[in-house]
């Protein structure tokens, strides 16, 4: 990972030497969800938790835009992103009187590196990969919240191992429009490709919780 970061930084510096460079900051709304959690063994699959609504959060950070001409550019970003979901255990797996609802929060440091396609003046189509690093997690069950190592330990007691993953990889696509040369508005969708929750033990595989995030943001270019 260290070699990848060094190589990426070297590439960005090299690109910056030949492009018009602008810096900016941005912030906005997150509407996020997680895919269902399933367990499989001996060819059979059982749904453990299913999506029960979207979580509301926010993102904030900065970006650098490298422009190589009128129609193409590159936009790396560094963002703090509050993500999560509302999950529900299917009623068939619950004891009587329990609703099985849990609110999850997963905070990430996300680094998207986006191709900036500019078909019209001040209008951009942004698409590219994103890596993310989980820095905080919590779960609220029946009004009680557990987070961090407490959350890891609780799941380890039940499953035998800590199932949460600290690394996330996603594909990002969105639109951005610039007003009066400085003010930007944008909307994008982050589609997670890796499981935030994964465990294989004694022939039983538990997987799920791919991140899915809609982001609406405003920004300022210096």
Residue 132 has pLDDT above 70, yes or no: yes
- Summary mean pLDDT of the chain: 86
Cα 122 → chain centroid = 27
Q: Coil, strand or helix: which one is 121?
A: coil
CB-based contact 195:21 (threshold 8 Å): no
Give the contacts of 74 (CB within 8 A, at least 6 positions apart): 15, 19, 65, 66, 68, 113, 114, 115, 116
Q: Which tokens sit at 188? A: 């994008």
- 176-187 pLDDT tens trace: 999 988 999 999
Residue from 208, 173, 215, 170 nearest 56 by CA: 215
Residue 203: CB atoms within 10 Å: 8
Question: What share of the chain has pLDDT > 90, as a percent?
Answer: 53
Q: How far apart are CA 161 and CA 159, in angstroms?
A: 6
Residue 12 has pLDDT above 80, yes or no: no
Q: How far apart are CA 89 and CA 39, in angstroms?
A: 13
Residue 152 has pLDDT above 80, yes or no: yes
> Which of 82-96, 140-154, 159-173 has the largest mean confidence?
159-173
Rg of the chain's alpha carbons, rounded to an integer?
Answer: 20
Residue 147 has pLDDT above 70, yes or no: yes
CB-based contact 55:104 (threshold 8 Å): yes
Cα 89 → chain centroid = 23
pLDDT value at position 189?
98
Q: How far apart are CA 103 and CA 91, in angstroms?
A: 17
- 61-119 pLDDT tens trace: 999 999 998 899 999 999 999 999 988 877 555 555 566 688 899 999 999 999 999 99
pLDDT value at position 47?
75
* Domain topology for 19-221: Porin (2.40.160)
């Amino acid at each position: 990972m260290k070699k990848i970061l060094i190589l990426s930084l070297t590439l960005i510096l090299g690109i910056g030497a030949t492009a018009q460079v602008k810096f900016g900051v941005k912030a906005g709304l997150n509407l996020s969800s997680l895919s269902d959690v399933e367990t499989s063994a001996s060819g059979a699959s059982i749904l453990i938790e299913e999506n029960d609504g979207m979580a509301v959060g926010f993102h904030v950070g900065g970006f650098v835009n490298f422009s190589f001409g009128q129609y193409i550019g590159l936009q790396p970003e560094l963002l703090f992103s509050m993500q999560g979901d509302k999950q529900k255990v299917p009623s068939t797996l619950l004891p009587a009187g329990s609703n099985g609802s849990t609110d999850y929060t997963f905070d990430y440091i996300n680094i998207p590196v986006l191709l900036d396609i500019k078909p019209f003046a001040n209008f951009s189509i942004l698409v590219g990969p994103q890596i993310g690093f989980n820095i905080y997690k919590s779960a609220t069950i029946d009004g009680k919240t557990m987070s961090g190592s407490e959350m890891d330990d609780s799941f380890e007691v039940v499953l035998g191992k800590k199932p949460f993953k600290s690394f996330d990889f996603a594909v990002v696509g969105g639109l951005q429009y610039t007003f009066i040369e400085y003010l930007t508005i944008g909307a994008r969708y982050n589609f997670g490709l890796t499981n935030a929750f994964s465990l294989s033990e004694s022939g039983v595989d538990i997987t799920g919780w791919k991140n899915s995030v809609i982001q609406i943001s405003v920004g300022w270019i210096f």
